[in-house]
């Protein structure tokens, strides 16, 4: 039988041997110096030490509006007063002392919360500051929890191992949910050799080392004062070793990463910071005129700064979060087809953009393709269709033999109800009066013309009716005006024998029995063409209030209907038949074409000039595509495109002869639908901002599509923040999202990303969906829906990881983004919410670690600062100020981003947690083996601690 087992029956509290043992312990304790009494310091010094610890911590982070205001070495000493305050404290007191340290830390670091509450919650300072204190108190509970658990798990009668102290704090900091997430290690963002371990351990590894060093220093001081057993150097062994490993790894990793950066492909990245405050950005509290001018000037400023970057060679430009607020409705497309055509064999062909094509390709990245071998596939009739028209990008109308009318969409075609059996040769589609031209949701009106003087008008909702024209000659052409500026629906039909008809108010309505009938106000009359005779072949009606039109025909004749309704012949340099006409409504250019490959262009001076088409075959179709690029087809199957250098042939193998063309135009949308594929690129030069400030009317003559385009004055790919929406669901509410859009050099939407983590009271009100009336209380709060996906955009053979606002301070979220294998991380953010406070620099400090953890460049574009480019080592290679409009331009490496942390995540913290559990279990087991009375040593001289001494603990 072992000695331990032999003693087991005698280990009762009252046994003689046990009493003797306790007596020997008391004698031993009595021989120790009085300083070894572990009851700890009095309460007031504890409180002051707790406050000092909190001050040291928050001073190690940015705390003023000056760059690099943090005194980062202070964090390494912060746990000396903190642990001194907790020395000998019981659990309850440990909790409150920790809570005090946490309160001071978070109040000093997050004092700017008061401004957010005041400005966006419309609450007085008397409420805003207590709310700020409440936030600080809640966030400080992590320190309170540490104080409580430290008092509980600390071994009785001896010091807690420095690694256990570090593990305890690290695990609590990691697990505690914060409103504004931050970690102790974040304050070291300027100590580059220290923070390199983040690519293995995450920022928690840095916290661990800091706390271990602080605990080691504290215990060494206690040993120096004779308050702890052992030599002074013993508590420093592990901390010094950890720090040495951290620094050695850091210096090695810095060199290794710099080598990888030097070898990586570079991207010339430009960022725009327009220095537009939160109220100015939204033009809050301004009258109508000031609001309009402010919003438009904001956009012009972003564009002017972007043009400067583009001129300097930027390959990608980044605007901040919610930077795109257009004055009006932007023009967008939801399909990649920019024009469609009909072939002589009845096929539908499409002029389609290929996003993979290089920017400098001869066709601008476009090519013809056969969209449908049979345009009317699936439709019962087999009529031959010979004319096309469209007003929106997702639908077109074709007309042909025996009155056939066809409506086509990207997914198919359907027959429209026929109103006549006469052959139809021309068709026009416009927005009904009262709707904007090209309005995405506009009511559309169709007008077709054909044999026997037939004109048909209507739409698929009300049906179609025949207009009594009073003529019987074939009508070969039709054009129409509609839209918001048109006083009434008007059209021009022209044909053989010099017939030109003007129609006003001739649109169909639902009549008796549900059949379509003409509006009673329909008026048809012959135009006064002053004796100009020709067989008219084509009409182009220029949209707008002027009701301007051109009619072309045989003999090279052109009729122009000018403002006021007068018709006049215009002189052309040819006498051959002109069979096609099309124009650019915004710029005023008009093209005509016809027999023998003749192409004419009418300039703004009103003169027609001939252009060289590389074909002598008859031109059978002419249009301007959605981007206002002229396209032509000839009878020998040729297809042509006009660019800045003139007309060029386009590959057309297998297409055949094209007999009709029409654009699938951009449509006007509310900013911005979630399903758009393209945004209009402005073609009008940017004004000088000084000129605009003096005379804003210089922008009023700019076409609306140009005025509202994000890319204007430059075509460099652009990433910007804006608003997106999706149609109302079952709740009847249109859902809004805070979205990042990326456009390529052609205005194509490369990708969109919806912000996942919304800003409380700025973008949503907690419990607001459950209690919608809360949004009436917090009127300045937005009401956005959170995104659900993490995305990286594919672009030019690389992947661009995108995040919005404070998502860049969330390690787990960034880890999800890193799983998408980006080559760079782009963050669009808006720290203007917080004004000129320390928050932008604190945000930057927290974001630095995402670059190190993933070994990727992190580029941050902000509205008012601090915009920055952070390289994969965590170095801030460029940054802006909190004042003035600025740009950043730098070559940045596109890295692969593979790291240990990226693969294993927060494994280090979990290992620390398991190690801590093991330490506590072993400590408790050792204490049980050592006896129930192992604990705080009695006062010098033996006996029990006094009541006062127990109370101070």
Q: Can you give the pLDDT at residue 764?
A: 85
Confidence band of 358 (pLDDT split at 50, 70, 90): confident
C-alpha dist (Å) from residue 546 to 493, 543, 559, 768, 774: 17, 8, 16, 49, 49
Q: Can you give the pLDDT at residue 455?
A: 97
Average pLDDT estimate for 516-530: 85
Residues whose CB falls within 8 Å of the CB of residue 536, separated by 6 or more in sequence, listed in order: 476, 477, 494, 495, 496, 498, 499, 500, 551, 552, 553, 559
Please give the residue that has the higher pLDDT: either 825 or 358.
825
Q: Can you give the pLDDT at residue 243?
A: 98
Reported as a single tens digit per residue, the pLDDT across 860-876 is: 999 998 999 999 999 99
Reported as a single tens digit per residue, the pLDDT across 541-577 is: 998 767 899 999 999 999 999 978 899 999 999 999 9
Mean pLDDT of the chain: 90
| Range from 698-707, 770-779, 892-901 carrying the lowest mean pLDDT | 770-779
Q: Can you give the pLDDT at residue 231?
A: 93
Contact predicate 811/843, CB 8 Å: no
Q: Can you give the pLDDT at residue 225?
A: 92
**Alpha helices (H) in 269-373, listed in sequence order:** 278-281, 288-311
| Cα dihedral across residues 17, 23, 26, 27: positive or negative | negative
Contact predicate 302/319, CB 8 Å: yes
Cα angle value 720/735/293 (rounded, 5°): 50
Q: Evaluate if residue 95 carries a pLDDT over 60.
A: yes
Average pLDDT estimate for 580-600: 96
Q: Can you give the pLDDT at residue 808?
A: 95
Side-by-side strand order, sheet with 678-679 = 667-668, 331-333, 678-679
Average pLDDT estimate for 635-661: 94
Q: Looking at residue 184, what DSSP letter applies?
A: G
**Strand partners of residue 868:** 860, 879
Is pTM beyond 0.85 here? yes
Confidence band of 4 (pLDDT split at 50, 70, 90): very low
C-alpha dist (Å) from residue 952 to 41, 44, 151: 7, 10, 14
Confidence band of 34 (pLDDT split at 50, 70, 90): very low
Give the integer Cα–Cα distance in Å for 312 and 659.
45
For the record, the structure tokens of 305 come out as 């700064």
Please give the residue that has the higher pLDDT: either 97 or 834.
97
Confidence band of 506 (pLDDT split at 50, 70, 90): confident
Average pLDDT estimate for 341-351: 95
Structural domains in the chain plus CATH codes: 31-255+905-935 (no CATH), 264-330+669-904 (3.60.110.10), 331-668 (2.130.10.10)
* Percentage of the residues of the chain whose pLDDT score is greater than 70: 92
Dump the DSSP string for 305-324: HHHHHHHTT-SEEE--TT--
Reported as a single tens digit per residue, the pLDDT across 193-202 is: 999 999 999 9
Reported as a single tens digit per residue, the pLDDT across 143-169 is: 999 999 999 999 987 899 999 999 999
Q: Evaluate if residue 778 carries a pLDDT over 80.
A: no
Give the integer Cα–Cα distance in Å for 720 and 829.
10
Contact predicate 891/267, CB 8 Å: yes
Q: Evaluate if residue 1 carries a pLDDT over 80.
A: no
Reported as a single tens digit per residue, the pLDDT across 398-432 is: 999 999 999 999 888 999 999 999 999 999 999 88
Give the integer Cα–Cα distance in Å for 315 and 413.
41
Give the integer Cα–Cα distance in Å for 516 and 532.
36
| Range from 3-17, 499-513, 542-556 carrying the lowest mean pLDDT | 3-17
Reported as a single tens digit per residue, the pLDDT across 877-902 is: 999 999 999 999 999 999 998 999 99
Q: Evaluate if residue 677 carries a pLDDT over 80.
A: yes
**What φ, ψ does residue 690 adopt, rounded to 5°?**
-65, -40
Instruction: Measure CA 47 to chain center.
Output: 46
Q: How many helices and strands in the chain, by DSSP H and E?
A: 23, 45
């Amino acid at each position: 039988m072992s000695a331990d087992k032999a003693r087991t029956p005698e280990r009762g509290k009252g046994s003689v041997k046990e009493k003797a043992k306790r007596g020997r312990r008391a004698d031993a304790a009595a021989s120790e110096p009085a300083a070894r009494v572990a009851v700890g310091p009095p309460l007031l010094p504890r409180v002051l030490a707790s406050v000092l610890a909190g001050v040291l911590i928050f001073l190690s982070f940015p705390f003023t509006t000056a760059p690099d205001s943090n005194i980062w070495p202070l964090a390494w000493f912060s746990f000396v007063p903190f642990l001194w305050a907790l020395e000998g404290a019981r659990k309850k007191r440990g909790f409150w002392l920790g809570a005090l340290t946490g309160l001071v830390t978070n109040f000093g670091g997050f004092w700017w919360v008061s401004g957010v509450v005041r400005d966006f919650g419309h609450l007085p300072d008397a409420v805003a500051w207590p709310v700020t204190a409440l936030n600080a108190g809640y966030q400080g509970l992590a320190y309170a929890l540490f104080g409580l658990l430290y008092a509980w798990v600390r071994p009785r009668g001896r010091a807690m191992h420095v690694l256990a102290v570090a593990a305890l704090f690290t695990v609590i900091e990691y697990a505690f949910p914060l409103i504004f997430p931050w970690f102790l290690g974040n304050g070291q963002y300027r100590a580059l050799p220290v923070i390199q371990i983040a690519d293995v351990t995450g920022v928690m590894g840095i916290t661990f080392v800091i706390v271990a060093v602080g605990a080691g220093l504290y215990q060494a001081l206690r040993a120096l004062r004779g308050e702890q057993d052992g030599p002074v150097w013993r508590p420093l062994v592990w901390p010094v070793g950890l720090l040495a490993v951290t620094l050695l790894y850091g210096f090695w990793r810095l060199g290794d990463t710099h080598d990888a950066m030097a070898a990586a492909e570079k991207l010339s990245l430009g960022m725009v910071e327009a220095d537009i405050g939160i109220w100015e950005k939204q033009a809050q509290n301004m009258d109508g005129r000031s609001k309009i001018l402010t919003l438009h000037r904001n956009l012009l400023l972003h564009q002017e700064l972007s043009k400067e970057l583009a001129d300097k060679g930027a390959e990608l430009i980044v605007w901040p979060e919610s930077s795109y607020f257009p004055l009006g409705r932007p023009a967008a497309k939801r399909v990649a087809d920019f024009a469609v055509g009909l072939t002589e064999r009845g096929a539908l062909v499409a002029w389609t953009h290929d996003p993979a094509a290089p920017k400098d390709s001869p066709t601008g990245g476009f090519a013809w393709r056969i969209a449908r071998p049979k345009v009317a596939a699936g439709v019962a009739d087999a009529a031959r269709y010979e004319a096309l028209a469209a007003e929106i990008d997702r639908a077109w109308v074709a007309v042909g033999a025996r009155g056939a009318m066809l409506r086509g969409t990207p997914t198919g075609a359907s027959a429209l109800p026929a109103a006549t059996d006469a052959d139809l040769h021309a068709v026009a589609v416009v927005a009904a009066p009262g709707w904007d031209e090209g309005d995405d949701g506009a009511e559309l009106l169709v007008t077709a013309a054909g044999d026997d003087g037939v004109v048909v008008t209507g739409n698929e909702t009300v049906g179609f009716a025949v207009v009594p024209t009073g003529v019987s000659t074939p009508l070969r052409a039709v054009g129409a005006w509609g839209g918001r500026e048109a006083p009434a629906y008007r059209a021009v039909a022209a044909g053989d024998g010099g017939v030109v008809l003007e129609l006003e108010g001739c649109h169909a309505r639902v009549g008796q029995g549900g059949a379509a009938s003409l509006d009673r106000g329909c008026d048809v009359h012959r135009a006064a063409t002053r004796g100009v005779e020709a067989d008219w072949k084509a009409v182009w009606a220029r949209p707008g209030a002027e009701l301007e039109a051109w009619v072309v025909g045989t003999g090279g004749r052109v009729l122009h209907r000018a403002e006021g309704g007068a018709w006049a012949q215009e002189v052309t340099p040819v006498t051959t038949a002109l069979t096609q006409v099309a124009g650019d409504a915004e710029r005023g250019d008009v093209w005509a074409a016809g027999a023998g490959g003749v192409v004419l262009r009418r300039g703004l001076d009103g003169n027609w000039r001939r252009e060289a088409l590389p074909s002598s075959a008859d031109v059978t179709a002419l249009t301007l595509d959605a981007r206002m690029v002229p396209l032509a087809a000839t009878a020998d199957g040729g297809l042509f495109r006009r660019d800045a250098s003139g007309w060029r042939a386009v590959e057309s193998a297998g297409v055949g002869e094209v007999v009709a063309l029409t654009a699938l135009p951009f449509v006007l949308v509310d900013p911005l639908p979630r399903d758009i594929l393209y945004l209009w690129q402005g073609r009008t030069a940017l004004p000088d901002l000084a000129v605009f400030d003096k005379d804003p009317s210089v922008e009023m003559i700019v076409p609306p599509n140009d005025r509202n385009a994000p890319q204007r004055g430059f075509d460099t790919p652009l990433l910007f923040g804006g608003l997106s929406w999706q149609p109302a669901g079952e709740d009847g509410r249109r859902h809004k999202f805070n979205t990042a859009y990326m456009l390529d050099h052609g205005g194509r939407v490369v990708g969109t990303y919806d912000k996942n983590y919304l800003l409380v009271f700025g973008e949503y009100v907690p419990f607001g969906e459950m209690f919608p009336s809360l949004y009436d209380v917090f009127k300045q709060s937005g009401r956005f829906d959170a995104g659900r996906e993490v995305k990286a955009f594919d672009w030019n053979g690389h992947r661009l990881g995108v995040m919005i606002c404070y998502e860049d301070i969330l390690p787990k979220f960034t880890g999800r983004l890193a799983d998408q294998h980006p080559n760079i991380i782009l963050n669009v953010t808006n720290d203007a919410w917080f004004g000129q406070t320390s928050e932008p620099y604190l945000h930057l400090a927290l974001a630095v670690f995402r670059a190190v953890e993933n070994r990727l460049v992190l580029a941050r574009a902000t509205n008012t600062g601090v915009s920055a480019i952070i390289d994969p080592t965590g170095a801030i290679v460029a940054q802006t100020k909190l004042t003035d409009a600025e740009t950043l331009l730098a070559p940045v490496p596109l890295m692969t981003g593979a790291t240990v942390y990226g693969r294993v995540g927060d494994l280090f913290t979990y290992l620390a947690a398991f190690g801590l559990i093991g330490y506590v279990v072993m400590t408790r087991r050792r204490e049980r083996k050592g006896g129930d009375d192992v604990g705080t040593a009695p006062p010098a001289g033996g006996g029990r601690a006094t009541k006062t001494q127990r109370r101070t603990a």
